[in-house]
Structure 1
């Protein structure tokens, strides 16, 4: 039986768990991408910047030992983060996050993903996003070629 997963706004107490989901997801999905920040740097960024100053949502698996199993961060029209715990992928949580993002930003959304992240490309394209720009990665911390996607209603 799958636990009920509730999408809710993140509070200060969720910052560490949200950062840990980000870390696990990034490691699983992007093993070839070099992270320029330590785990503690990422946790500090979530605690001091992401949760207090961005529209941060978490997927909370109520009643499960896992607790927070996903995180989505909106910054205006920018869908800046969408990460799921690897063990929770394929359960529709990402679909629910994208629906919520579209509801919160009905005029449209943009996002960046790395070119090597083919599963993310398929996921976003399935949700109506179109690739509008490709870069050599010189504009991101990881120095990894990326793709900008846009969704318009």
Structure 2
């Protein structure tokens, strides 16, 4: 199914279980060498109680199934996850467009250094790597990289 058959909309409380499913499947598929800092039930609770109600969360869905998730906070792209079966279909591109429209002054984000596909994806969308760490300050203790997008750079 092409990306234009996918609907992008604001997430609501009822979407939290599906958002968690996508987050967990995507994390495990994209980052098999990264230790998750929290078990599934804690991730689900955080998505239900914190992420969906307190962030600007968007979902991509097709035929009633959530296949992508975008979460924003002030100046930050906090989460961007796609169901592994839906990667490479332009859905991530559409979610980044939403992020840039919602945060027109600019965005920053963190991704793990081992996630080279994500780094290439963000670089294609005008994000520039500005900082690399050894991971000492993130919960996973995994080296990461901070990216910044400024509208004047695009």
Residues in 1 aligned to 2:58 and 2:46: alpha-carbon distance in whole angstroms: 15
- Alignment partner of 1:122: what SS? helix
CA RMSD of aligned residues (A): 1.1
CA shift, 1:36, in A, is 1.4
Gaps of 5+ in 1: none
Q: In the alignment, what sits opposite 1:47? A: 48
Aligned counterparts of 2:54 and 2:10: Cα–Cα separation in 1 = 12
The structure 1 segments of at least 4 consecutive aligned residues displaced by more than 6 Å after TM superposition are none
Matches within 5 A, 1:33-44: 33-44=34-45
**Counterpart Cα distance in 1 of 2:114 and 2:31:** 8
Aligned match of 1:131:
129
For the residues of structure 2 that align with 1:128 and 1:84, how far apart are their CA atoms? Answer: 20
2:9 is aligned to 8
1:144 aligned partner:
142
Tell me the alpha carbon deviations over residues 28-62 of structure 1, each in whole angstroms, 9 at most, x when there is no partner: 0000000010101000000000001100000111x
Deviation at 1:2, TM superposition (A): 4.5
Q: 2: distance between equivalents of 1:70 and 1:86?
A: 9
2:74 and 2:60 map into 1 onto residues whose CA distance is 20
Report the Cα distance in structure 2 between the residues aligned to 1:53 and 1:92, rounded to whole angstroms.
27
For normalisation by structure 2, the TM-score amounts to: 0.95
Distance in 1 (alpha carbons) for counterparts of 2:73 and 2:20: 17
Once residues 37 and 94 of structure 2 are traced to their aligned partners in structure 1, the CA distance between those partners, rounded to angstroms, is 30
Q: What SS is found at the alignment partner of 1:139?
A: coil
Q: When the two structures are aligned, how many residues end up with a matched partner?
A: 150
Q: Identify the residue that residue 84 of structure 1 maps to in structure 2.
A: 82
